[in-house]
Structures are given as structure tokens and as C-alpha cells.
């Protein structure tokens, strides 16, 4: 079974906190960086937050590295170097998951296809709002993630290890366009192989109502003392 089929079994986290941009926002990577996954292996902080600005609004994910260190590190690097910019939410199944993480650029998708990371132990349950990497079996995680739209604890025993939570904007996540249903070949939604090969142009031409990511940036809690952060203009 392909990674894209099993990737449908994934989820994310939720509760609310006011946030502001960090003094070190996510960097917009040059093509060379995203085309060389082996060079993007920085260790993530113990905790960090990411604001996703989408065509439906914003949501914030709080990542706790101790939950799934390898997953948290991979997500950190993908965000930092702009991997998720323009990526679409290609699989939205109400009451189950929202899935994304195929690059809008075919050349970038090709570069990351085999950039797998080992599995993390499952230390948290796949409850509503948690975010988890998609897999196609043991040790096959690359770039695709899903946010749980319900309590999907059944995924825990299958090796899906949450690494963070949606802490703000879960209503935005739940409002992402879901009208196309399950992906091909199980349903009439997008074919993940074609997204990988053709990029966002395939989705824009055939699934124009899909929502997408405008940007993903690191953020800090608004309650943190001003002396510890400087808002970027």
C-alpha cells in the first residue's frame, strides 16, 4: 500500500493561546536548501509554536519536542525553510483528519520523497487537535502531516506519534474545504501521486476550491515580556 493511501490515517492538537510573531520568523528558503533535505537537520527547541496563515484564516500549532523528538525536528526544519508555503489541504475528511504536506513544487516533492526519518515512540494519544506525521509503514515519515478532527485513539497502536497541538484556530482547521471527499482511488478527491508530480497547478486546475497555506511562521506567546522579544514589522 502506498504512503499516500496510509497517509490518510493522521491527526493534530487543540486549545487557545494569543500569539505574536517571533523576532526570528520562519525563513524563506532558497531553492538550494529545500532541494537538499540532508542539509536541513537542525534540532528543534524544546517547545515552539507555528502560525499557519491560510486561505480560510490562521491557526497556531504548539510543538513539544519531548512528545516525538524526530518528528518535531523534521517539522521545525520544514517550517523554517518554507516547505509548506502554498501547499494545499488536499485531504479533508470531517470527523477524521485534515491532511497536508505535499509541496506546491514538484522539484521539491521529488527531493523529499525518500528523505525518511525513523519512527518516534507514541507517547501521546491522537486526540482532536493533535498533529502527527503520515506514514506508509515503519520508518517512512517524510513531510506529510495530519490534524485530527476527532479523538482518533485507534491510531495510537498503529505507530502514529503526535508531536504537537492546535492551540488556536481549531475552528479554522474545521472549516477547510472538504467537498471533494476522500482522495483517489478510494474517492473523487485529489490523486496524491499527481500532486507530487505536477504540484499545485494540478490542484488549481482540477480542485480549485481546496484551501491552501499562505505562510507558516514561528511565533511566541503574547504574554511573554517585551524584553524577551521584538515584534518584527
Separation between Cα atoms, residue 194 and residue 180, nearest integer Å:
16
SS3 226: helix
**CA-closest candidate to residue 164, choices 42, 9, 53, 48:** 48
SS3 52: strand
pLDDT digits (tens, 9 = 90+) for 27-76: 444 444 899 999 999 999 999 999 999 999 999 999 999 999 999 999 99
Tell me what pLDDT residue 148 has: 98
Question: Any residues with CB less than 8 A from the CB of 70 and at least 6 apart, and which?
Answer: 117, 118, 119, 120, 141
pLDDT digits (tens, 9 = 90+) for 15-29: 222 233 333 333 444
Alpha helices in 22-165 (DSSP H): 31-34, 69-80, 106-112
Amino acid at each position: 500500500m502506498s504512503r499516500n493511501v496510509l497517509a490518510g490515517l493522521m491527526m493534530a492538537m487543540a486549545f487557545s493561546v494569543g500569539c505574536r510573531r517571533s523576532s526570528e520568523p520562519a525563513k524563506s528558503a532558497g531553492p538550494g536548501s529545500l532541494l537538499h533535505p540532508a542539509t536541513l537537520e537542525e534540532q528543534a527547541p524544546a517547545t515552539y509554536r507555528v502560525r499557519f496563515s491560510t486561505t480560510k484564516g490562521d491557526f497556531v500549532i504548539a510543538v513539544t519536542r519531548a512528545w516525538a523528538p524526530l518528528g518535531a525536528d523534521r517539522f521545525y526544519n520544514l517550517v523554517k525553510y518554507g516547505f509548506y508555503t502554498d501547499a494545499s489541504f488536499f485531504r479533508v475528511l470531517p470527523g477524521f483528519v485534515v491532511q497536508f504536506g505535499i509541496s506546491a513544487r514538484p522539484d521539491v516533492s521529488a527531493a523529499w520523497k525518500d528523505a525518511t526519518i525513523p519512527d518516534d515512540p507514541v507517547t501521546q494519544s491522537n486526540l482532536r487537535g493533535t498533529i502527527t506525521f503520515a506514514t506508509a509503514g515503519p520508518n517512512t515519515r517524510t513531510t506529510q502531516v495530519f490534524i485530527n478532527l476527532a479523538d482518533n485513539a485507534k491510531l495510537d497502536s498503529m505507530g502514529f506519534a503526535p508531536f504537537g497541538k492546535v492551540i488556536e484556530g481549531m475552528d479554522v482547521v474545521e472549516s477547510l474545504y472538504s467537498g471533494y471527499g476522500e482522495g483517489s482511488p478510494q474517492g473523487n478527491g485529489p490523486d496524491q501521486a499527481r500532486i507530487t508530480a505536477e504540484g499545485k497547478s494540478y490542484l488549481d486546475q482540477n480542485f480549485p476550491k481546496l484551501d491552501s497555506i499562505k505562510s507558516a511562521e514561528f511565533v511566541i506567546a503574547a504574554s511573554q515580556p517585551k524584553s524577551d522579544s521584538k515584534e518584527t514589522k
